[in-house]
Amino acid sequence: MILETTGNKMDSEKLIKRFRIVLLNTLANMSAPVANMVCSWLVIRWISPELWGSYTKIFLLLMLALQITGFGSKEFLLREFSKSPKDIFNHWFSSLRSRFLLVIGGIILFVFFPFENDLKITLICWLLVRFLYLSFDPILLFQKKSESRCCWKVWLWFSSDSCTGSDLKIQVYCG
């Protein structure tokens, strides 16, 4: 009877631990989309839908560039981390270095876009911050650091948002 109670207690502790991991992972994955929706709503409600439309056009290009630089990277790195956990840093840095070459190519393309120089610099900073944001995700996910991952995502979202002009410099150039 005592063994049975202890077994149930251990099972419930495992279940709670697993549920916590799933919950924190869900929060980490949902934090950026929820923050984006709130930001969209605030800009549309308090400033203008036209500004948000201009903002969206620019950021669709940026998100496409980030999608290209990170395509399959997280899955590949998680697989490599599982195969050889002692080489996590080497795999991560090798991926970072090769993907950074693509980011440099994207930055060079941005130089030729028809935007003011201040906006170009702001967008390039945003691109670099988001690139770092996406680069650390596989490490945090593999190490099951859900709290860190959630905090990292929220912090980087806010820093990239402030980098893109919480003072709404973009309004001057787009609207």
In this prediction, residue 119 carries a pLDDT of 78
Segment 80-115, tens digit of pLDDT: 989 988 888 899 999 999 999 988 988 888 888 887
Q: What is the pLDDT of residue 83?
A: 92
For residue 121, the model assigns a pLDDT of 85
What pLDDT, on a 0 to 100 scale, did the predictor assign at position 6? 54
- Full-model pTM: 0.62
8 A C-beta contact, residue 62 and residue 123: yes
Question: What's the pLDDT score for residue 165?
Answer: 43
Dig out the tokens for 48 from the structure.
């203008």
Q: Name the burial class of residue 153, with classes exposed (0-12), middle (13-18) and buried (19+) by CB atoms within 10 angstroms of its CB.
A: buried
What is the domain partition of the chain in residue ranges?
2-174
CA atoms of 69 and 96, how far apart (whole Å): 10
HSE-CB for 96 with a 13 A CA cutoff: 17
* Residues of the chain falling short of pLDDT 70: 1-10, 145-175
- Are residues 81 and 91 in contact, defined by beta-carbon separation less than 8 angstroms? yes
R_g of the chain computed on alpha carbons: 20
